[in-house]
Amino acid sequence: MQQLVFATNNRHKLDEVADKIKGQIALLTLNDIGCHDDIEETGFTFHANASIKSHLIYHKYHLNCFGDDSGLEIDALNGEPGVFSARYAGKHGDHEANINKVLINLKNETNRKARFKTVISLMWEGKEHFFEGTVEGTIRHEKSGDEGFGYDPIFEPDGYAVTFAEMSLAEKNKISHRAKAVEKLVAFLSAV
């Protein structure tokens, strides 16, 4: 079985990707390969940040790997929080503060259209490949649901009357931005 490093230690992301791959590939984490580097996302695009992660791991450990960057883009906020989604309110990973900042910034907005976007950078045998996934939706006026992570409690995907945080992992994984990007990654790996 082929091995592939996912350049993350984010348990939620790992669970989502592992659910999609379903044992077709041996998925390794940064911990599995002994990488404890704090990989800084210094890029200004999802592509750049994903690429930073995959290049660092590939060139340091000489292992096929992929990195991803994801975020929420809100039309009324000119695409914010975008690449700064995880640290929109200042501190990296403070989901509650990030959600509150979005809700405050959208307080008087009627246009609540938004999308989640994921970009995956795969370094495979020395070549880089990109895979993208997007899911359109709207931002709720208040939080709803306890599942998922990040902005899931305020994001309602188009065609649904529930937020990502009100869906099971299996339900979310059928339509999410990361799921769509990972499906493209798996299709590529199945063909090599």
Helix (H) or strand (E) holding 28, with range, is strand 26-28
Residues 148 and 184: their CA atoms lie apart, in Å, by 22
Among residues 32, 69, 94, 158, the one annotated as catalytic is 69
Which domains are present in the chain?
3-191 (3.90.950.10)
What pLDDT is recorded for position 190?
83
Q: Contact 82/117 with Cβ under 8 angstroms?
A: no
Residues lower than pLDDT 50 in the chain: none
DSSP assignment letter at 141 = S
What pLDDT is recorded for position 142?
96
Listed residue (8, 1, 58) closest to 182, CA to CA: 8
3-state secondary structure of 124: strand
pTM more than 0.85: yes
What pLDDT is recorded for position 40?
87
What pLDDT is recorded for position 161?
97
Q: How do residues 72-119 score in pLDDT, each as one tens digit?
A: 999 999 999 999 999 999 988 899 999 999 999 999 999 999 999 999
Catalytic (active site) residue 75:
no
What pLDDT is recorded for position 38?
85
